Structure 1
Amino acid sequence: MSENQPPYGGAPGGQPGPYGQNPYDQNPYEQVAQPYGQVPAYPGGGQQDVNAYGQVPTGMPPLAHWGWRVLSALIDGLVVGIPQVAVTYGVNRPAGSLVALIGLVVLAYVEGTKGQTPGKMAVGTHTLREADGQVLGFWRALGRRLAHLIDTLACFVGYLWPLWDDKRQTFADKIASSVVIKP
């Protein structure tokens, strides 16, 4: 091996390689030590919120009990289901499926823009973004509605998950980063 040729394919003469810095010029053990007990800063800046891990963030309204969620889902099911059944048996099956699809989109729109469906309005609950407490928006609300299909897998365990979850979230809530509150 010659004097100008560094080991392992680096650039000759200690110059940067084709991908930027010369890796042999960096000291991998040089790090800033944190004092014991001090929480390191978030990668995006600011201090880490210790309460955000597995606990309800501070300042959030009380989470809705599972019973309120079930009652609001039953009401929403009636709001969409009664017209769907009427059209399915009164007109035909494809028209009933179209009514169900329209109902899904309308519920997602109302929930995404107002935070409440008709069932949630009746029981007084709201669906909000977990991070900042704002309404979900249409696309996130529609994604949450579609993600409820995952809740039905494995014998509807996803719908039962709020019974023992710290944030009372279904799998769909976890995917959409949403919480259901009862102020």
Structure 2
Amino acid sequence: MSNNHPPPGQSPDDDPFSKKPQEPTPPSAGGPQEPPPPGGPPPPGSPYDRPPGGAGPYGGGGQPPPSGPNAFGGAYGGADPLAGMPPLADFGRRLLARVIDALIVFVPLFLISLAFGGWGEMADTGDTWDDITDQVNTGRQWIWSLISLVAYVGYDTLMVAKGHGQTLGKRLMKIRVAMLNDGSVPDVSSSLMRAIVLWVPALICCFCLWWLVIIVTILADKPYKQGLHDKAGKTVVVSAPQ
């Protein structure tokens, strides 16, 4: 009968993302690392506090992504849970994907509005600017704003959570949304938080200004290129497998 038992207090069924790999780390790779306690704070090597030049696919010391079932984050935790993930998506593809998704939702809403006499009624009556402003402030316009909000937020949430991290636009651009900690597909709550931060300010009060804020935060953020909506959902946007 074997005397090799797990150390006291450590269960073999612990969350694999909170412990080191089962294989011993060779001395040439930097020596063994102490696993974080279950339920404790993230290790010093967590991607949330790793400097831009650290190891991993987003720093200078990363290694090529592996192939196989663990290619998007791995089955075990370690110094960098993002090791093995694809490279971050470039801004151009992210912007084109967002434009495509916005049009996918906007066109049906516009056609429905025409069918119910929305935009078409204001365009055909020859109203003055004051008359148009009065119509915008009516209850009907607020209802259409609410419908638009539900449509955009719902589309983004469901497509990201149920579409393997891809909206239709992202699928065309071959990019996807992934959780920052392990590269998995965001769940509904993370996708919803991301969509709310992305769309609610834009559709309620400051359309152009909010998109400018989102663009600036994506371009300025290091090293993960996270917009405010990515930070809210704890996500990143990466290249998708071909």
Give TM-score scaled by structure 1 length.
Answer: 0.66
Unaligned ranges ≥5, structure 1: 1-38
Distance 1:108 1:53, change over 3 A: same
Unaligned ranges ≥5, structure 2: 1-32, 53-57, 59-81, 119-140
**Within 5 A, what are the aligned runs for 1:1-20?**
none
Moved segments of 4+, more than 6 Å: none
Distance 1:96 1:89, change over 3 A: farther
**Alpha-carbon distance in structure 1 between the residues aligned to 2:42 and 2:196:** 35
Partner of 2:173: 123
Question: Shift of residue 106 of structure 1?
Answer: 2.9
Aligned residue pair count:
145
Asked if the contact 1:126–1:180 (Cα under 8 Å) also holds between the matched residues in 2, the reply is yes
Partner of 1:8: none
1:127 alignment partner AA:
V
Asked if the contact 1:150–1:172 (Cα under 8 Å) also holds between the matched residues in 2, the reply is no
Does residue 112 of the first structure (1) align with residue 168 of the second (2)? Answer: no
Question: Shift of residue 157 of structure 1?
Answer: 2.2
Larger Cα-atom Rg: 1
Q: Secondary structure at the match of 1:122?
A: helix
**Within 5 A, what are the aligned runs for 1:1-183?**
42=36, 44=40, 48-49=44-45, 52-55=49-52, 56=58, 57-91=82-116, 92=118, 93=141, 94=143, 97-98=146-147, 100-113=149-162, 114-148=164-198, 149=200, 156-165=212-221, 166-183=223-240
Asked if the contact 1:40–1:47 (Cα under 8 Å) also holds between the matched residues in 2, the reply is no
Single out whichever of 49-58 and 102-111 deviates more from structure 2: 49-58
Q: Deviations for 1:50-99, whole angstroms, at most 9, x for unmatched residues?
A: 66514434322100001111000000001000011111222145357525
**Alpha-carbon distance in structure 2 between the residues aligned to 1:132 and 1:76:** 26
Asked if the contact 2:230–2:236 (Cα under 8 Å) also holds between the matched residues in 1, the reply is yes
Question: Shift of residue 158 of structure 1?
Answer: 2.5
Question: Shift of residue 177 of structure 1?
Answer: 0.5
Give TM-score scaled by structure 2 length.
Answer: 0.52
RMSD in angstroms over aligned alpha carbons?
A: 2.9
